[in-house]
Structures are given as structure tokens and as C-alpha cells.
Amino acid sequence: MKYVKWFVLAILDLLFTAQCYITNPFVVLFATETGELPTLFTWWANWDDGLDVRWMVTEHKVPRWAEYDFDRHYKYYDEWQAEEIIGKHHGFVVPLDTHFSLWERLQRYVCRLCWLYRNTGYGFSYYVTGVDVRKADIVKVRDNPDDIFYETDYAWVLKYDRPSFHGWHWEIFLGWKMQNVEHDVDRCMLAFRVNPFCS
């Protein structure tokens, strides 16, 4: 039954993802100065980060022309630091210089949009199609760095990473992201990724 449940939820997740690909450029316009989306757009937003993520801008994960001086404008705290500071597992920024030129605003818009496309429908996959998993319920069937299969009576995860061809490798990630459950009960978002062309 847990596999049928995942299959049905994965279809819903794909439908919402398709909608997000169309609406992301519009949704980004509603972000606050600190890169947070209003509650109305919770299903589009990351549950564990805002839209302004330092490494996304500074480690060349966006088009070069869209990179701006992130550190001049923001102090970034990742989700682990945030948990220590504010007791919430949600990365955030503190504005340092709120003066953005028109060009920098365009760059920031593109960076935020790239982040949303990288994590399309993240909130939906967490709040709607995700499941609560009890750590005590997890049975580790396979537990290798590149081949994981865990299950419970109500959830499962398969994570597989192997060479495919010509320097590429397979990345298969299905089920729910329960391989890193830390607390007695953690919310685990739905996983649905099959890619034979990872580098």
C-alpha cells in the first residue's frame, strides 16, 4: 500500500511541479527584501531556506551575469546555524545594505528564480505529499553510501548512485527523504528523481 500511496502522491507532485515551472517567475515577485515568500506561496517555497542563499550566488550556480555582491548586501545563516540562533530549521539572511541598483535587483531576481527552479514545488513536496516518519520505525534494508533502501510500514526510500556511461552516473531517488531522520518524528518530503546524466 505504501508504494501505491507514493505513486499517487508522486503524480500529484509532478502536476504541481509543472504548474510551478509556469508560475515561478510571477511568484518570485512577491518575495520580501529578505527573500521570504508570503504564506500564500508556502507550497512554492523551501521549507528549510529562503530565496536568498549565499552559495547559490557565490559558487557559480547561476548565470555569471546574474552574480552580484551577495556579501555586501546580506549576512547568510544556513538552516543549521538558524536552528542554533532562532531555534528553527530555516536558513535566513540579515540585510546589510538594502540599496540595490536596478541591475542588482534584476540579478537578485534571476538568482531567486534559479533557486526556485532548482527546488520547484519544495513546500508542496514537504507539506502536502510528505509524510511524518518515526525514527524507531525505520528498517535499514540496504545502507551503503551509493545504495540506500530504508522502509517502514508506511514509507520507504530508495537512493541509488552508480556510473551509467561516458563519465555520467545514474541518480535515482524515490520514496520519501527519510534517510536522515534525526528526531523521534521528522517530516520527510516526497522524493522523485531519476537522472542518468549526473556529472
For residue 158, give the C-alpha cell. Answer: 530508495
Across 23-37, 113-127, 161-175, least confident range: 161-175
74-118 pLDDT, tens digit per residue, is 999 998 898 888 888 889 999 999 999 999 999 999 999 999 999
Q: Which amino acid is at 137?
A: D
DSSP string, 126-157: IIIS-EEEEGGG-EEEEEETTEEEEE-SS-EE
Mean pLDDT of 158-169: 83
Question: Which of the four pLDDT bands, split at 50, 70 and 90, describes residue 27?
Answer: very high
For residue 197, give the C-alpha cell. Answer: 546524466
Which pLDDT score, from 0 to 100, does residue 199 have? 66
DSSP H helices in 60-197? 70-73, 79-86, 102-118, 122-123
For residues 13 and 102, the answer to whether their CB atoms sit within 8 Å is no
Q: What's the pTM value of the predicted model, to 2 decimals?
A: 0.89
36-84 pLDDT, tens digit per residue, is 999 999 999 999 999 999 999 999 999 999 999 999 999 999 988 988 8
Q: Residue 50 CA to chain centroid, in angstroms?
A: 10
- Judge residue 29's burial from the number of C-beta atoms within 10 Å of its C-beta, 0-12 exposed, 13-18 middle, 19 or more buried: exposed
For residue 2, give the C-alpha cell. Answer: 505504501
Q: Give percent of the chain with pLDDT exceeding 70.
A: 99
The whole-chain average pLDDT of the chain stands at 94
pLDDT at 173 over 90: yes
Question: At how many degrees (to 10) do helices 102-118 and 2-27 cross?
Answer: 170
- Judge residue 104's burial from the number of C-beta atoms within 10 Å of its C-beta, 0-12 exposed, 13-18 middle, 19 or more buried: middle
Least Cα distance to 114 among 69, 160, 53 occurs for 53
